[in-house]
């Protein structure tokens, strides 16, 4: 018995010593002092680029993208106007996607070394590009040493780090060596037990390590709404919200400038609101994302108008993440059936809307892809040479068939390309504060195929409108019941879109009445007009 205890203590020590800060728990997050937060958070001015390291650029010819490959392409991201990057999981993992972590304190050796990653961080920061990484807190890999130990021995010190039952309690329960364990996503991803303070402390240590020791700027929080179950309720529980309140105090105390954006699948603004303010900095607005695609696809403003109306009701400050698609969804160009015109509309609607935008890699050139997941995470298409310029070796996943015509090199010098449109819109967004953090008022167009909105802050007023169909619009009029525009006549000047624009008459209460900036709006015409006051 004494020998067994000594062996168990030795095993515990070895497991805990596998990386930094893996010993016994640090003080609980509830003990953290109230953090001093920045007055204007950097992420409110950011345009993010979601990047799958494995598929972006291979620097050493092994067919797998890597940190050095990203570093060599930072100038491309900077030229695009990107000032923040979200890296999908970079931790060691037995899977290609990385969402089942075996070590929270290291990097996937297929992507390079920790020194390579730190060099990437340093080079990005030189260009004023922030880097956030995916943090998977809901579960570990079934191959994580903690779970292996817990699964082998019911007396393991890590047994209560996971959730166990003597019998199966449903489809989320999986047979282990010493009972059934809970894993909501798969048997390869056992859920952590956040009712155990030691689990919280361990994950806080990992967060502190990446923020303070490595120097990342924040985290995308995977499946953050599923941390703590309550009976049959597996998401958005009061216990999860309470845990996140303590977590918020912890990470803001570690670094007040640290940013978190949470994945709460299918969340609209009403649900996103329940997670922001004292839990996470932002939540992705899935409702708005799908509505933008629906309006671009269907040629009607009803979907985006509805989504923005709800957003204005629940989160009028636009403090959420916006996107078109991500690594879990069919690519936007595939959803738009390969239409470049509709892809341009979708980009325009997202980049002129409130929120912090996230662009999925390759979206800016119109890469296509439909599930299975590997096919929506294919290698980036850089040029028309062998393997699309992604690698000199054999790519980890076959390239899309259209890479010879759909690639960066084919579009980068074409002013009419999708890539050029992204660059222009991002530049305009970066230069105009009203597009980043200004208010939004939907403008009645008296035409379902025309979208219009007014973006304003204390510096500027911008009138935005877009023809969502492949037909000229002549029968329309822009009407707004009230705004902060000053009464009088104003001459709009275009910062996006060409034409000769009518003088705008602003009535009392800043209202507009049947204003027609152009006699006709051409098919898929998109405009941003600055209203000089």
Alpha-carbon span 516 to 95, nearest angstrom: 55
Q: Catalytic residue, from 50, 263, 287, 364: name it.
A: 263
| Pair of tokens at residue 74 | 């930072």
Please say whether the beta carbons of 106 and 19 come within 8 A. Answer: yes
Q: Which of 304, 301, 302 has the alpha carbon at shortest distance from 324?
A: 304
Alpha-carbon span 64 to 332, nearest angstrom: 24
* Cα-Cα-Cα-Cα dihedral sign, residues 432, 434, 436, 437: positive
Which residues share a beta bridge with 496? Answer: 528
Please say whether the beta carbons of 378 and 398 come within 8 A. Answer: yes
Which helix (H) or strand (E) segment holds residue 495: the answer is: strand 492-496
Place of tokens 């959420």: 320
Q: How far apart are the first and last CA of the chain?
A: 84
Residue 422, classed as helix, strand or coil, is: helix
Q: Catalytic residue at 222? A: yes
Please say whether the beta carbons of 134 and 219 come within 8 A. Answer: yes
Other Cβ atoms closer than 10 A to 460:
17
Place of tokens 């705008």: 504
30 Cβ contact list (under 8 Å, min separation 6) = 246, 249
What backbone phi and psi angles, to 5 degrees, belong to 272?
-60, -35
Query: Under the phi-then-psi rule, with left for phi > 0, alpha for psi from -120 to 50, and beta for the rest, what region is 104?
Result: alpha
| Pair of tokens at residue 439 | 């208010």
Alpha-carbon span 39 to 37, nearest angstrom: 6
| Pair of tokens at residue 476 | 């329309």
| Pair of tokens at residue 323 | 């996107």
Work out the angle at residue 174's Cα, subtended by the Cα atoms of residues 170 and 176, and round it to the nearest 5 degrees.
140
Other Cβ atoms closer than 10 A to 378:
23
Other Cβ atoms closer than 10 A to 200:
24
Q: Which of 416, 357, 417, 407 has the alpha carbon at shortest distance from 378?
A: 407
Please say whether the beta carbons of 100 and 197 come within 8 A. Answer: no
Q: Catalytic residue, from 222, 229, 287, 363: name it.
A: 222
Q: So which residues are the catalytic ones?
A: 222, 263
């Amino acid at each position: 018995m004494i020998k067994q205890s000594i062996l168990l203590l030795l095993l515990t020590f070895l497991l805990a010593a596998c990386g930094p800060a893996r010993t016994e728990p640090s003080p609980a997050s509830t003990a953290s002092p109230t953090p001093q937060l920045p007055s204007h958070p950097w992420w409110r001015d950011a345009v993010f680029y979601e990047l799958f390291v494995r598929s972006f650029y291979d620097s050493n010819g092994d067919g797998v993208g890597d940190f050095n490959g990203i570093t060599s392409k930072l100038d491309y991201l900077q030229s695009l106007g990107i000032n923040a990057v979200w890296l999908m999981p970079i931790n060691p993992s037995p899977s290609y996607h990385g969402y089942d972590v075996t070590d929270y304190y290291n990097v996937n050796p297929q992507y390079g070394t920790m020194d390579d990653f730190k060099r990437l961080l340093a080079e990005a920061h030189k260009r004023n590009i922030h880097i956030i990484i995916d943090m998977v807190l809901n579960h570990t890999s079934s191959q994580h040493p903690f779970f292996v130990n817990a699964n082998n021995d019911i007396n393991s010190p890590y047994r209560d780090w996971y959730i166990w039952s003597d019998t199966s309690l449903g489809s989320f329960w999986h047979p282990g060596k010493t009972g059934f364990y809970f894993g909501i996503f798969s048997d390869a991803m056992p859920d952590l037990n956040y009712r155990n303070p030691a689990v919280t402390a361990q994950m806080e240590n990992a967060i502190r390590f990446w923020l303070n020791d490595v120097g990342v700027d924040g985290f995308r929080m995977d499946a953050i709404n599923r941390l703590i179950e309550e009976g049959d309720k597996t998401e958005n529980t009061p216990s999860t919200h309470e845990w996140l309140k303590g977590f918020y105090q912890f990470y803001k105390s570690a670094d007040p400038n640290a940013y978190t954006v949470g994945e709460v699948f299918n969340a609209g603004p009403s649900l996103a609101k329940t997670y922001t303010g004292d839990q996470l900095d932002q939540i992705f607005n899935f409702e708005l994302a799908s509505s933008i695609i629906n309006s671009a696809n269907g040629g009607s403003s009803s979907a985006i108008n509805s989504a923005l109306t709800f957003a204005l009701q629940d989160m009028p400050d636009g403090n959420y993440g916006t996107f078109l698609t991500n690594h879990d969804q069919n690519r936007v160009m595939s959803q738009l059936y390969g239409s470049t015109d509709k892809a341009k509309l979708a980009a325009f609607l997202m980049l002129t809307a409130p929120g912090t935008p996230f662009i999925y890699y390759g979206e800016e050139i119109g890469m296509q892809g439909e599930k299975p997941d590997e096919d929506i995470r294919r290698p980036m298409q850089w040029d028309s040479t062998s393997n699309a310029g992604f690698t000199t070796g054999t790519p980890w996943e076959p390239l899309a068939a259209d890479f010879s015509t759909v690639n960066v090199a084919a579009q980068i010098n074409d002013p009419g390309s999708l890539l050029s449109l992204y660059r222009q819109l991002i530049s305009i967004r970066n230069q105009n504060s009203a597009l980043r953090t200004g208010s939004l008022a939907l403008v009645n167009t008296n035409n379902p195929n025309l979208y219009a909105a007014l973006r304003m802050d204390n510096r500027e007023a911008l009138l935005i409108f877009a023809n969502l169909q492949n037909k000229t619009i002549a029968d329309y009029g822009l009407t707004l019941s009230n705004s902060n525009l000053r009464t009088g006549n104003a001459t709009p000047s275009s910062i996006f879109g060409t034409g000769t624009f009518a003088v705008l008459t602003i009535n009392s209460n800043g209202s507009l009445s049947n204003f027609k900036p152009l006699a006709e709006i051409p098919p898929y015409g998109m405009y941003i007009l600055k209203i000089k006051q």
